[in-house]
Structure 1
Amino acid sequence: MQRVTIAISLPLTGDPGVGAASARDGALLAIEDFELDGYLVRTLVLDHAVNGTYDERQGADDMTELVANEDVIAVVGPFNSAVARAQIPIGNQAGLLQCSPATTNPGITSGPAGADLRRANPDRIAFIRVSTTDDFQGPALARFGFDELDLRRVAVIDDGQAYGDNLANAFGSEFQRLGGTVVERRTVQAGIDDEAVVVEELRGSDPDGVLFGGLTITGGAAFRHQMGVAGMGDLAFLAGDGIVDGPGSVGESYIGLTGPAAANSFGAIAAIAEFPGRDAFSVRYLEAFSTWPGAYSAPGHACAEVILDSIRVAAARGVVTREAVRAAATDTTRTFDTVLGPLQFDEVGDTSLKVVSIYGVDPAAANGTGDWIYDSQVTLGGE
């Protein structure tokens, strides 16, 4: 009996812990259901959250530890693009496969920035992801706002950081292409700019909605709170996955910090919510964990499925090694049958599934504390 280990490297405590834990449990479920004669698959779970948030240095240390553990054949994770930047060079140098259920920054795989992260072995991809990227998340929000909310005049704000700026720019380009108008384009940095002053200035532009590129902790909650104070809470507030961070019962979440002003807020998650096997998966997940799947449960499951299928392929070829599993998973000609549906990875490890799900705040959910409820999903690419 050959024993192999699949590691799970995610930030499992603090602000990102809700989503990351659902990805962990999805992966564990897939591994639990896996059977292959002659092989026993074990798991090793590492938490790289420090002081309530993801930590790049801890993520790098964990990846170094996993590389040194000869039993580890592949890794599910990380959850955040900043940690991916720290981990990818380590995994690339060692040839240790990673599959991320949630990272969205285009630069960790594509272009000069992506190439620089794998400079040790430029042609040996060791990082793949089942989540699509921010350059699709922004346009999906634009289409949702234009088509479903009938927005035509939107103020576009970013938090001054790479994620927020990329998301805001991608939204603005698509919204204008659809025929909408960007009435304001501003950078508002938490702790530097006065959100109350900016909100009052926006009033004069007469927007019917606001797009915020950033996170709860980088100004998303503070900006929306000030909109409520200023009597602008009826305007739609759109953002990426950086604000979809749990129900109002979680005090440091977007809903917890904004309170009643969270109503009319919508967040995009680069994860597929509607898929053919959704009902059966939900029942199986409920049986295993006594709770319904989270937004990243199925992506976590899909990552594990890709790794497990690659183990099966390697075994059929005679030997299960890190390199054999990595090569099978990154083969651009292979199609993987996952809970999300059939998917492939391109030459830099990005998924063929360009789908973004939209969630809205229901103030009455979660026993009246408010929670994110799935609304719809947008499919992009190949049009």
Structure 2
Amino acid sequence: MKRAVAIARPLGLVAAVVLAAACSNGTDAVADEDRSAGPLSEVRVAGDEAVQIRAISALGGSPDAESPVYLAVRMAVHDYGPLHGQFDVEVGAGLDGECSDAGGRRAARAVLRTQAVVGVIGTQCSVAAIAAAPLLTEAGLVMISPSNTAPGLTSDLAGNAGEHRQVGYYRTAHNDLHVGRAVADFLFLELGLRRAAAIHDGDPYTEGLATAFADAFNERGGTVTASVSIHRQAASHAATWDSVVESEPEAVLITLFPDEASEVLQHRPTDSLGTISATVITSDFFGNEYLSEQRSAGLYLAGRDARHGDDVNESTGQGVADVLSRLVVDIGEVSAGSYWPQAYDATTLMLDAIERTSHLDDGVLVIERARLREHLSATDGYDGLTGTLACDEFGDCGAARIAVYQHIDPADPAAAAGNVVFEYSR
């Protein structure tokens, strides 16, 4: 176990320079010489240099300091301290994956303009990871995501690699197959419901979760009456609800991103033939303004179990309350749905692996990319803010702790985070 290192330098010193501008040919393509030494070659860091890692999150045009995920990465670097007691780690400016395939590619190419980068914490959204991971891992980097949950990025949890699986990719977030199973168990076993519909938008995350739920619900003996894909730019989602209502479900699972889910819920029918009597459950919906509306009362929220209790990160000695209190000071209220604990753990997991697999050669730090991957793949029993982490052969490292929350009081939306009505763990 690494002891926490006492350091007295501001966070700004570990979050270094903005990355270089576009390549000389006027495009964002990676120069051929960036890979001339082979993707799994050594990275050598001189004594007056710093180890380079990067973070790709979903900044949405906001300053880096306003992103709890990015700030958690910086805090983890600060708390971990210098590698081997002497090599600082630079995170660089936050990169925006934009929750899109184009954004993921742009961010990955920006990373690769700095040849010495060892690894990336990110992306935040699965669709961006599908685009970024091939570029980063083929260049020899490791990538640890705190919040990608699409099953296709790792595996089907039955020994088969996902369609987007890349060697060198890992995540401290859960696999959404677990969320799908948790919701299926809750509706079928806890509430005794037998007919359910799902609404998604075709995104790898939203459709993947809807499919995971449908498969699990069918396996338990339930019937999935409809799986409806919305058009993101639709002026009205009334037609979506028409399709759902016609299938006569007892429950409806909405796997959309929060803003989209809010728009769909605004069009939820309330007449005697509508879904007002059906149980509605959403995923990753904490912090949305819709929860302040009176009609949101009774809504169920499914996602990771945010009750981390007394969990402590073994590399830094910091607990959940310690890190959260600093985040609140820096950016104010932090949503219970934010993946900042997973980001903190992803960062220390990477730093611990770099330190354990690197060595000094006449004052130069030598990092072997192949050994780094081997070490991460063998991770077992690493204690983090999010529980005990263990990586399987496909890169799933996160503790599968899922909860279903019930939202009762629109006057106090934050209270839902403490109202757990169902638990699932694997």
Aligned with 1:342 (options 380, 388, 392)? 388
The superposition leaves residues 286-315 of structure 1 with CA deviations (integer Å, 9 ceiling, x where unpaired) of 045425654312101110110111122024
Instruction: After TM superposition, give the deviation of residue 102 of structure 1 in Å.
Output: 0.5
Q: Once the 2 structures are TM-superposed, how far is the Cα of residue 95 of structure 1 from its aligned partner?
A: 0.9
Q: Tell me how far 1:9 sits from its aligned partner.
A: 1.0
Residue of structure 1 equivalent to 2:106 = 61
> Which 10-residue stretch deviates more, 152-161 or 24-33?
152-161
Which sits farther off after the overlay, 190-199 or 335-344?
190-199
For 2:279, which of 221, 224, 236 is the aligned residue? 236
| Equivalent in the alignment of 2:287 | 246
Match of 1:213 in 2: 255
Which stretch shows the higher mean deviation, 301-310 or 345-354? 345-354
What SS does structure 2 have at the residue aligned with 1:353? coil
Looking at structure 1, the residues matched to 257 and 101 of structure 2 have their Cα atoms a distance apart, in angstroms, of 17
What residue is the counterpart of 1:282 in the other structure?
321
One-letter identity of the residue aligned with 2:402: V
- What is the rounded CA distance, in whole Å, between the counterparts of 1:340 and 1:154 in structure 2? 31
Residue number in structure 1 paired with 2:120: 75
In structure 2, relative to structure 1, the CA distance for the partners of 1:202 and 1:324 (3 Å cut) is: closer
* 1:157 Cα deviation after fit: 3.4
User: Is the CA contact 1:77–1:98 (under 8 Å) kept in the aligned structure 2?
Assistant: yes
Kindly report the root-mean-square deviation, in angstroms, between the aligned alpha carbons of the 2 structures: 3.5
The answer to whether residue 161 in structure 2 is matched with residue 127 in structure 1 is: no
Amino acid at match of 2:90: R
Gap runs ≥5 in structure 1: 119-124, 249-253
Shift of 1:153: 3.5
Letter in 1 for 2:280: F
Q: Is the 8 A contact 2:379 2:390 kept in 1?
A: yes
Change (3 A) 1:281 1:216: closer
Choose from 145, 156, 161 the match for 2:187.
Answer: 145
Query: How far did residue 135 of structure 1 move?
Result: 1.8
TM-score by length of 2: 0.71
Task: Indicate whether 1:89 and 2:127 are aligned.
Answer: no
Residues 360 and 320 of structure 1, relative CA distance in 2, 3 Å threshold: farther
Question: Which one has a bigger Cα radius of gyration?
Answer: 2
2:21 aligned partner = none
CA drift of 1:112 comes to: 6.0
Aligned-residue identity in percent: 22
Query: Which of 260, 264, 270 is the matching residue for 2:294?
Result: 260
Instruction: Name the structure 1 match of 2:163.
Output: 113
Tell whether the 8 Å contact from 2:407 to 2:419 is kept in structure 1 after alignment: no
Report deviation, 1:47.
3.2
1:11 pairs with 30, 36, 58, which one? 58
Kept after mapping to 1: 8 A contact 2:210/2:227: no
Q: Aligned pair in 2 of structure 1 residues 33, 113: CA closer, same or farther (>3 Å)?
A: same
C-alpha distance 12-209 of structure 1, shift in aligned 2 (>3 A): same
Do the aligned residues in 2 keep the contact of 1:246 with 1:371 (CA within 8 Å)?
A: no
Structure 2: how far apart are the matches of 1:201 and 1:90?
Answer: 40
State how many pairs are aligned.
355
> Take 2:104 and 2:345, find their aligned partners in 1: how far apart are those partners?
22
Compared CA separation, residues 308 and 37, structure 1 to 2 (3 A): same
Distance 1:130 1:275, change over 3 A: farther
Alignment deviations for residues 260-279 of structure 1 (CA, whole Å, 9 cap, x no partner): 33332233334654354279
Name the aligned partner's letter for residue 301 of structure 2: G
Taking a change above 3 Å as real, the CA distance of residues 188 and 346 of structure 1, as seen in their structure-2 partners, is: closer
Q: Identify the match of residue 417 of structure 2 among 365, 373, 378.
A: 373
CA distance in 2, matches of 1:161, 1:96: 26
Match of 2:85 in 1: 37
Q: Please list the CA deviations of residues 203-237 of structure 1 after superposition, one character each: whole Å capped at 9, or x if unmatched.
A: 5665432112333455x333322225446445331
Q: Is 1:305 aligned to residue 321 of structure 2? A: no
Is the contact made by 2:194 and 2:221 (CA closer than 8 Å) also made in structure 1? Answer: yes
| Unpaired runs of at least 5, structure 2 | 1-46, 156-160, 313-317
Does the 8 A contact of 1:27 with 1:304 survive in 2?
yes
Alignment check: 8 A CA contact 1:95 1:326 kept:
no
Q: Cα gap change, 1:176/1:63 in structure 2, threshold over 3 Å: closer, same or farther?
A: closer
Measured in 1, the distance between the counterparts of 2:164 and 2:396 equals 11
CA gap 1:48/1:360 in 2 versus in 1, 3 angstroms: farther
1:268, 1:356 within 8 Å by CA — same for their partners in 2?
Answer: yes
SS of aligned partner of 2:92: strand
Is the Cα–Cα contact under 8 Å of residues 66 and 72 in structure 1 kept in the other structure? yes
Cα distance change on mapping 1:226 and 1:305 into 2, 3 Å: same
1-structure distance, mates of 2:100, 2:227: 28
Deviation at 1:78, TM superposition (A): 0.4
Cα pair distance change 1:70/1:289, threshold 3 Å = farther
Query: Residue 159 of structure 1: CA displacement?
Result: 3.3
Equivalent positions of 1:310-321 (< 5 A) are 310-315=353-358, 319-321=365-367
